[in-house]
Amino acid sequence: MLFAKKIEPTVNAVGGTELVSVTLKTLIDLAKPAAGLNMHRLTIRSQQSGGYLSSFKGRGMEFDETRLYQPGDDIRSIDWRVTARTGKTHTKLFREEREKPVFISVDNRLSMHFATRGVFKSVQAKKIAALLAWVANQQGDRIGGQVFSHASCKELKPQNGKHAVLHFLNALVVANNTAGNEFDLAKVLARLAQHARPGSLVYVISDFRGINDQCENYLLKLSEHCDVVLIFIVDPLEKGLPAQGRFRFTNDQPNNQREVVIDTSDKQRIAHYQLRFEDRLQKLKRIAQRRSLALIQCSTQDDPVQRLRQPLEVR
């Protein structure tokens, strides 16, 4: 029998055996291995301010002040409100942003609290999010994020410094993973498109259950003004069940325990099981290709530090 709750111990990047949950100390200790990572290599298509290479279409600038229009000013920068109020044409002036906002969205839904090998998908997602947050801090960027479940969705405004990273890590550790129907993936991505300001580097870390055309539309909206990286967290068993045997899965929740038994001799059921995962993977690949997003696949068995060090494809 194979239980989702009974998985083989694995040593994490800082030497622990946290399989189903992760402590704040573990996430804090990931600052050291994060020092060797440089995630801005994911976006290498066009030069923007601040020394970064990026594909986003925003100015990479922050509003500074308004002054009277002068010959040669870009008409797209005209401040129409001030112009209408004063009767004289005014232009908006911008100053370069010296850092890039990094916004990390982390899936903590019930489907993420599962694994048959390595660590729970939720644990892997939080470790990757912590590594990305520390990289952003080391590169002088502002760090913010979003942690969501079926029942809640919390956003943290990007801020500078170690305090911002710790605030984000604490949100990961205390994240609410109770059952509920208030937030599906489409609603979460709609909120993400509203909260991530133009010019941000946005990571979405999830198993992407429930991805659909509506989700793609929100990702399109987001990618128009931000760099977007999708990090797909998978358990090996999702890709395909063993050739033969009966397997029992439980959610390990005393007050709402559910159990599923899968007999791999039922070829039709197994084909349907594998097709659902393949459909999700192919849909993500199509979205990444159409919208010029980076897509990373990370197994629950992977060392998150080593996975982020590997060459990454920008689609």
pLDDT profile of the chain (315 residues), mean per 10 = 37 53 96 84 41 42 76 84 90 68 95 90 97 94 95 94 96 80 91 92 96 95 93 88 65 58 67 81 93 92 90 49
- 3-class state of residue 214 by DSSP: helix
Same domain, 36 and 157: yes
Same domain, 165 and 104: yes
Same domain, 41 and 65: no
The number of C-alpha atoms within 13 Å of 91 and in the hemisphere containing its C-beta is 12
Contact partners, residue 206, CB within 8 Å, separation at least 6: 105, 106, 107, 112, 125, 185, 230, 231, 232, 233
* Number of domains forming the structure of the chain: 2
Same domain, 269 and 224: yes
Q: What pTM does this model have? A: 0.75
Rounded Cα distance, 165 and 136, in Å: 9
What sections of the chain are H helices per DSSP?
24-29, 31-34, 80-86, 121-138, 162-173, 185-195, 213-223, 236-239, 267-291, 304-309
Is residue 297 assigned to a domain?
yes
Rounded Cα distance, 310 and 315, in Å: 16
Is residue 315 assigned to a domain?
no
Instruction: Return the pLDDT at 53.
Output: 39
Domain around 135: 24-45+98-309
Are 228 and 85 contacting, i.e. CB atoms less than 8 angstroms apart?
A: no
Same domain, 231 and 278: yes
Same domain, 287 and 143: yes
What tokens does 31 get? Answer: 């600052």
